[in-house]
Structure 1
Amino acid sequence: MKSITINGSQRESVGKVSTKALRNAGKVPCVVYGGDKPIHFSADELAFRHLVYTPDVHTVVIALEDGIKVNAILQDIQFHPVNDRILHMDFYQIYDDKEVMMEIPVRIVGNSRGVRNGGVLRVVTRKLRIKALPENLPDFIEADITEMKIGAKMYVTAVQTDDYKILHPDNTVICQIRTSRTAIADLEEEEETDEEGEEGETEAGDVPATETDDVAAVKE
């Protein structure tokens, strides 16, 4: 998974007055949990634009004074109810040898046969919560719909790998191909029907001469 570095400064005071002063200065108060003790810091609001305002997910390297660096993931974020500015952010410290839980976006790929035949693709689950070691966290989970027919559903079991564990029931639907008024029969089923018809014609051609043919032969 890609990582973003956030340069910040540790906060000595965490009261309401100092927090308000930080926000007025264009900074965001933050805290990192998961270590020996919480780490309070602040960073410029613009430093979070590639972390917050994107459909992608990233791990974060929080770089503080004195060369202190903390690997973390975004845990929670609070926005202002009116202007949508970031009010506060919570991070969770991660370690190379400890699994972490994270929501990963699902990316639909492929050209579905069902859609080509007039079906409608409906994406039910756009993010999946998984558990994995930090090095095995994917940027996205790929769901290939190429072979899906009209009426087919794709479950989370179809995208499970050994790199991570999906924290959803096995019957959780990722997407499905729904029928529509313009939908036509599946191409493969039509081809199978055509093949059966050709076999029938071949067998008919091997049938012995008819009774009418026998009568004509006697008259001759």
Structure 2
Amino acid sequence: MREAFVVEAEVRTTRGKGASRRLRHEGKVPAIIYGGKGEPQPITVNHNELSKHLKIEAFYSHILTVKIGGATEQAVLKDLHRHPVRNEIMHMDLQRVLADQLLRMHVPLHFKGAEVAPGIKTGGGIIEHHMIQVEVECLPKDLPEFLEVDLSALNVNEAVHMSQLKLPANVALVELKHGNDASVAAVHLPRAAVEPEPVAAEAASAEVPATAQKVEAKGDEAKKDDKKK
């Protein structure tokens, strides 16, 4: 069962950096909701309540119910700004969604099967994750919370590409629409296992003691002097 997220909000009547600073001191987050058929509306939400929502991965790729006064709107989280040091939530952007209009959202990838992949279990390889999320396009009712990536069949030097992901009905990957079938994850040998061996000549040189190399060098110089004479 999909979780339902409700965001309680209030209309924000004050603007500017000073007003936003005062709201943050009061434990509120300045935000805005825009898009759909309505005008952009500045709002505020409770910082602590929002923090609880943000600890749940599905909140980032879910249709949210936003209650503003007596009105209710459907929206998705489009942007979030945090303080670079305190991790405090500074601002949030919400975008209204309409049931009959396509929307684009980034959804997380959940990887499974790595522990039984032949390239890892018997081949000594390691998984390289090239993506942790992908952008999808679909109607709001079809928006997935995440997409699964099955790694169980991968051998060494094999990869899973975007075109191989299993998508829910009526969901498309934006990158594929632009012809970009990028790798999502791959199995490779650890770098130390594929480093080339030293060249034979270098190895032979390394076996000669440093003192012997100096003697040989002096002998060569002496031969050159004799020729000059």
User: TM bucket by the smaller chain?
Assistant: 0.7 to 0.9
Match of 1:175 in 2: 185
Does the CA-based 8 Å contact 1:123-1:175 persist in structure 2?
yes
Match of 1:47 in 2: 49
1:100 aligns with 2:103: yes
Q: Does 1:3 align with 2:9?
A: no
Cα separation, 2, equivalents of 1:104 and 1:48: 19
Q: Distance in 2 between matches of 1:88 and 1:25?
A: 14
Aligned to 2:23: 22
Distance 1:130 1:152 in 2: 24
Contact 2:148 2:166 in 1 (8 A): no
Q: Which residue of 1 aligns with 2:120?
A: 115
Spell out, residue by residue over 1:39-67, the C-alpha distance to the aligned partner (whole angstroms, 9 max, x if none): 2111110111243334443321111212x
Instruction: Quote the Cα distance in structure 2 between the aligned partners of 1:15 and 1:176.
Output: 48
Q: 1:4 to 1:95 in 2, by over 3 A?
A: same
User: Secondary structure of 1:8's match?
Assistant: strand
Paired residues in the alignment total 182
Superposition deviation, residue 33 in structure 1? 0.8
Q: Among 80, 84, 87, which residue is 2:83 paired with?
A: 80
Q: Where do 5+ consecutive residues of structure 1 fail to align?
A: 184-220
Give the superposition deviation at 1:115: 1.1
Question: In structure 1, what is the equivalent of residue 68 of structure 2?
Answer: 64
Q: Please state whether the residue corresponding to 1:6 is helix, strand or coil.
A: strand
- Between the aligned residues of both structures, percent identity stands at 21
Look up the SS of the partner of 1:75 in the other structure: strand
- Report the alpha carbon displacement of residue 15 of structure 1 after superposing the two structures with TM: 3.3
How far apart are 1:87 and its partner, in Å? Answer: 1.1
Asked if the contact 1:160–1:166 (Cα under 8 Å) also holds between the matched residues in 2, the reply is no
Instruction: Describe the SS at the equivalent of 1:46.
Output: helix
Aligned to 2:136: 130
Question: Is the 8 Å Cα contact of residues 157 and 170 (structure 1) preserved in structure 2?
Answer: no
Do 1:112 and 1:146's aligned partners in 2 also have CA atoms closer than 8 Å? Answer: yes
Relative to structure 1, is the Cα distance of residues 82 and 170 closer, same or farther in structure 2, using a 3 angstrom cutoff?
Answer: closer
- Letter paired with 2:153: E
